[in-house]
Amino acid sequence: MRKIHFNQEHAIGIICLIIAGFTRRLTSEFPEGMGSKGAPGPDFFPNVLTLLLIVFGVMEIVIGFKKQEQFDAITLGKMLNGIKSWGGLNILLVIALMLFYINFFEILGFIITSFIVLFILMWRLKVPWWKNIIATATLIIVIQLLFGYLFTISLPYGVLSGIL
């Protein structure tokens, strides 16, 4: 009889399923599209991502069972060491920045919130500060122009609404 142990594939699969659950919960109140006209609404893209997370999460769990002998058992110590690594800290930083973005997008507005998030991400990737500022500002301007003029979708200005 084969011994079953919790391994990295199981952990990845469970994390995918947890994120899918949170995503589904957060987007459950998004308006649906215009079904009669076949136009997707704001809930379309998050729901597609949620479905993909569920599918890939289940696949990871199944792979973890099918290839038990290829993966070492994962322990709490190994998980903590993984979190303390460069990649693990990057994952935690991205999750923290996503939560920041979700919670402050309306208050601070697209420009300020996006600038903070993008600047921190590029800083973490060791982009020189002056290149970071130029790249971040350029990306925000391009996105603002694309959404504002091409797609006619206004992004919130937040605290800058009286200025812009």
Q: Smallest Cα–Cα separation from 61: which of 20, 96, 93, 31?
A: 20
User: Do 53 and 5 meet the contact criterion of CB atoms below 8 Å apart?
Assistant: no
Give the pLDDT score at 156. Answer: 86
For the cut 80, the answer to whether the pLDDT of residue 164 exceeds it is no
What lies within 8 Å, CB to CB, of 78 at 6+ separation is: 72
Query: What does the mean pLDDT of the chain come to?
Result: 83
Q: Indicate the range of 62-76, 89-103, 107-121 predicted with least confidence.
A: 62-76
What lies within 8 Å, CB to CB, of 39 at 6+ separation is: 33
Model confidence band, residue 52 (pLDDT cutoffs 50, 70, 90): very high
Half-sphere exposure of 73 (CA within 13 A, CB side): 6
What are the respective helix, strand and coil percentages of the chain, to the nearest 5?
75, 0, 25
Give the pLDDT score at 45. Answer: 77
When pLDDT is averaged across residues 118-139 and rounded to a whole number, the result is: 94
Give the pLDDT score at 30. Answer: 72
Give the pLDDT score at 36. Answer: 55
